[in-house]
A and B are shown apart, each in its own frame.
Chain A
Amino acid sequence: MPGQGDNDMEEQMSSGVGYAVFILAVLAVGFAAVNSYFAFDKYSKVSQLTGLTGSEGYVNVTVSSVISVNFTKDSVLWGVGSVTTGQNNASLLLTAGSGTAVTRGNWSTTNVVPLSIENIGSVNVSLKVKSSNNAATLFSGSAGHRTYQVNFTNSDSAACWNDTINLRAWYDANDTDPGTKICSQMGFLDTQDQLNISIWLVVPYDGTTGALTSVLTATVATAG
């Protein structure tokens, strides 16, 4: 049985203001419903990252180790040169900290710098270096007049720990797998993560001529 209130509502609905109020009310309820949906939906997912789960919770963050080294100076480019007339070989010595020296040959030392390798990962690593050549396969020529040696030195203090070779000593380039183990632990902290590699070449007078290239490859693994 309709009462006085129903009559008032019908009057208001029939007026412009009453209709506007009705539309706005419907919109308000609609927005509120959508808002509630998003709020409940996202609230349950917040705990996945923040641990905001009520009385107790936890944050689960996994930090992966990164194992990676990088030759920050990756090329030794001796230009064109030859063994001095009458000499059996030429020596090209490139040492970190001591510069370059060419004897019995005429190669230019301009812009020739030692190699440098850096641990850019997030853990200490063991380091091995293998060469694609030794002196014989790089130069050919007489055995007594050719040399291809490498020398590892700390660029950063204590970058190479528990070294299995003697740093600052010369070793023949190793072309056998898996290469020579240079460091049992190479640091990753910026203050101790870099090694220099010096190169000593002795070019025989009777060796292969032309462009000769050798590739040094570094391999790393998580330090034990």
Chain B
Amino acid sequence: MVSKISDRLIVTLLIIAILLSVFSIVMTLSLSVNSQAYNSPEIPQGNTQANVEITVAPNPLAGEANAGAGG
């Protein structure tokens, strides 16, 4: 009877030891994730160009030759 209890106790302790070891490994691996070097974020590339657009429709009646006024 004493021998069975002792064996069960040993088994329990060994299981606890295994679980603790697994837990420790997981924690260590998580540490490796947290300690990874962070790469610099990409440098934002701004839009450095702007457009000025205009559409000029012909007006044959505009200009000095017609009324000679304005401008």
8 CB contacts below 8 A, A to B, read A31-B25, A46-B31, A49-B35, A50-B35, A86-B69, A199-B52, A206-B63, A211-B54
Chain B interface (Cβ within 8 Å of chain A)?
4, 7, 10-11, 14-15, 17-18, 21-22, 24-25, 28-29, 31-32, 35, 37, 40, 43-59, 61-64, 66-71
B17 (CB) vs chain A CBs: closest residue: A28
CA distance A45 to B70 in the complex (A): 79
User: From DSSP, what is the main secondary structure of chain B's interface residues?
Assistant: mixed
CA distance A25 to B28 in the complex (A): 22
In angstroms, how far is the closest chain A Cβ from the Cβ of B11?
6
The tally of CB-CB contacts under 8 A between chains A and B is: 196
| Residues of chain A contacted by B44 (CB below 8 angstroms) | 66, 68, 70, 120
| Residues of chain A contacted by B50 (CB below 8 angstroms) | 71, 73-76, 115, 117, 197, 215-216, 218
| Residues of chain B contacted by A28 (CB below 8 angstroms) | 14, 17-18, 21
Query: Are B70 and A24 interface neighbours, CB within 8 A?
Result: no
Chain A interface (Cβ within 8 Å of chain B)?
12, 17-18, 20-21, 24-25, 27-28, 31-32, 34-35, 38-39, 42, 45-46, 48-50, 64, 66, 68-71, 73-89, 92, 104, 107, 115, 117-118, 120-121, 139, 145, 197, 199, 201-203, 205-220
Query: Are A24 and B15 interface neighbours, CB within 8 A?
Result: yes
| Residues of chain A contacted by B58 (CB below 8 angstroms) | 82, 209
Query: Are A218 and B49 interface neighbours, CB within 8 A?
Result: yes
Query: Are B48 and A87 interface neighbours, CB within 8 A?
Result: no
Query: Are B71 and A89 interface neighbours, CB within 8 A?
Result: yes
Query: Are B53 and A205 interface neighbours, CB within 8 A?
Result: no
Whether A38 contacts B28 in the complex (CB less than 8 A), given A203-B56, A210-B55, A215-B51, comes out as: yes
Which of B21, B29, B48, B52 is in CB contact (< 8 Å) with A69? Answer: B48
Whether A76 contacts B62 in the complex (CB less than 8 A), given A35-B25, A68-B44, comes out as: no
Query: Are B55 and A42 interface neighbours, CB within 8 A?
Result: no
Given A68-B43, A86-B69, 9 new contacts (CB under 8 A) = A17-B7, A21-B10, A31-B22, A64-B40, A68-B45, A68-B46, A71-B46, A83-B63, A117-B50
Which of B14, B22, B32, B59 is in CB contact (< 8 Å) with A45? Answer: B32
| Residues of chain A contacted by B4 (CB below 8 angstroms) | 17
CA distance A20 to B21 in the complex (A): 18
CA distance A203 to B51 in the complex (A): 17
CA distance A48 to B61 in the complex (A): 78
Query: Are B53 and A86 interface neighbours, CB within 8 A?
Result: no
Which of B11, B28, B43, B54 is in CB contact (< 8 Å) with A201? Answer: B54
In angstroms, how far is the closest chain B Cβ from the Cβ of A85?
4
A52 (CB) vs chain B CBs: closest residue: B35
Whether A35 contacts B28 in the complex (CB less than 8 A), given A49-B37, A64-B40, comes out as: yes
